[in-house]
Amino acid sequence: MNKDKFGRKINYLRISVTDRCNLRCIYCMPQEGIKLFPHEEILSYEEIIKVAKASRNIGIDTIRITGGEPLIRKNLPYLIEELKKIDGIQDIAITTNGILLKKMLPELISAGLKRVNISLDSLKKDKFFNITRQDALYDVLSGIEKSLETGLSPIKINMVVIKGLNDDEIIDFVRLTERKPLIVRFIEYMPWGSLEKWDEKKILSAKDIKAIIEQEYGKILPANINSKGPSDNFYINGFQGFIGFITPLSEHFCGRCNRIRLTADGKLRLCLFSQQEIDIKSKIRAGSSIEELANFIANSINQKPEKIDIANHIKNHPREMSQIGG
């Protein structure tokens, strides 16, 4: 398994397959949308598969497909099926807003999908619309129910908590785990999207979220589940599911970061909050072999920063979240 210069084992590749999305979440992109990559700048599935094979050669065994919204890219099940064929890839998952999930689940599961993360920031129709700028809550909830029916596991619900907007729904989200085997993860509000609208006062730390939950349920207990990511997980006695906290701001998890990202336009991004991007697309399109790409990725990993630099990110911020893949 490949390690970076700080000794972290890197085994997780997040692949963004598109910068397009059918929502306009307030923390992700402006209401008017973003300037989209030209079609010819987007990596083809064959190019993505080549990067995945090269990554496997240096120890990557977990792949997550992201967007934008990955389910709007045509023939996504084909990509999943081909990635599954790579010897040594143990886990293929997607992160989706869930709108198209119910319709596409049979094909996705048939192709080899095992896990899904669904982004959902409100269970109230009007508030969902205010956050996403789309009237699609029913579609997302239907996608979650269909995922439960088909036996996907684990199913994770990601809620970005914004003080004064949806923090009054924290307990409602916890209740989702009472009778359903869901993992609900509370994510601190990060400086992204339209930064002129981002306000540090809207951050509710994981510590504060946990206190709200414990005021309702008493002390929650650490859960020993393999989440493959940065979430600190807990459970409530008698509940079928789990709750988790992702703390990019209050408690940096950089010391256990195990991932790199491939953007839809062919850049390696070694840290979500770093401005550094490394062009791998030009290597692919110049005809580099799998072995050459593997060496290139391994050398790139050595440039992974030790920790995030929020201040620099806020100052520069050249890409929106939908262009990176989260």
Q: Which helix (H) or strand (E) element contains residue 14? A: strand 12-16
CA distance 144 to 158: 12
CA distance 304 to 259: 10
CA distance 67 to 74: 13
pLDDT (0 to 100) of residue 318: 56
| pLDDT confidence tier of residue 109, bands split at 50, 70 and 90 | very high
DSSP string, 80-96: HHHHHTSTT--EEEEEE
DSSP-assigned beta bridge partners for residue 277: 269
Convert the pLDDT of each residue in 57-104 to its tens digit: 999 999 999 999 999 999 999 999 999 999 999 999 999 999 999 999
What mean pLDDT is predicted for residues 270-274?
85
256 to 58, 168, 232, 249: CA distances (angstroms): 18, 31, 12, 15
pLDDT (0 to 100) of residue 311: 56
Candidate from 21-25, 120-124, 154-158, 250-254 with smallest mean pLDDT: 250-254
DSSP 8: -
Candidate from 211-220, 266-275, 284-293 with smallest mean pLDDT: 266-275
pLDDT (0 to 100) of residue 37: 84
Question: 203 versus 308: which is more confidently predicted?
Answer: 203
pLDDT (0 to 100) of residue 130: 93
CA distance 178 to 168: 18
Convert the pLDDT of each residue in 11-25 to its tens digit: 999 999 999 999 988
- Within 10 angstroms of residue 286's Cβ, the number of other Cβ atoms is 8
pLDDT (0 to 100) of residue 34: 65
3-state DSSP helix/strand/coil percent for the chain, to nearest 5? 35, 20, 45
CA distance 278 to 318: 14
Closest CA to 74 of 100, 112, 93, 54: 100
* pLDDT of 273 higher than 90: no
* pLDDT of 321 higher than 60: no
Classify domain 12-323 by CATH number.
3.20.20.70
Question: 323 versus 259: which is more confidently predicted?
Answer: 259
Per the CB < 8 A criterion, the answer to whether 300 and 261 are in contact is: no
pLDDT (0 to 100) of residue 253: 79
Closest CA to 26 of 172, 134, 186, 155: 134
pLDDT (0 to 100) of residue 217: 97
Could you tell me the residue ranges of all domains in the chain?
12-323
What mean pLDDT is predicted for residues 27-52?
85
* pLDDT of 195 higher than 70: no
First to last CA, the chain: 23
Amino acid at 51: V
Convert the pLDDT of each residue in 222-270 to its tens digit: 998 876 778 999 999 999 999 999 987 777 778 889 999 999 999 999 9
DSSP 9: B
What mean pLDDT is predicted for residues 114-134?
95
pLDDT (0 to 100) of residue 13: 97
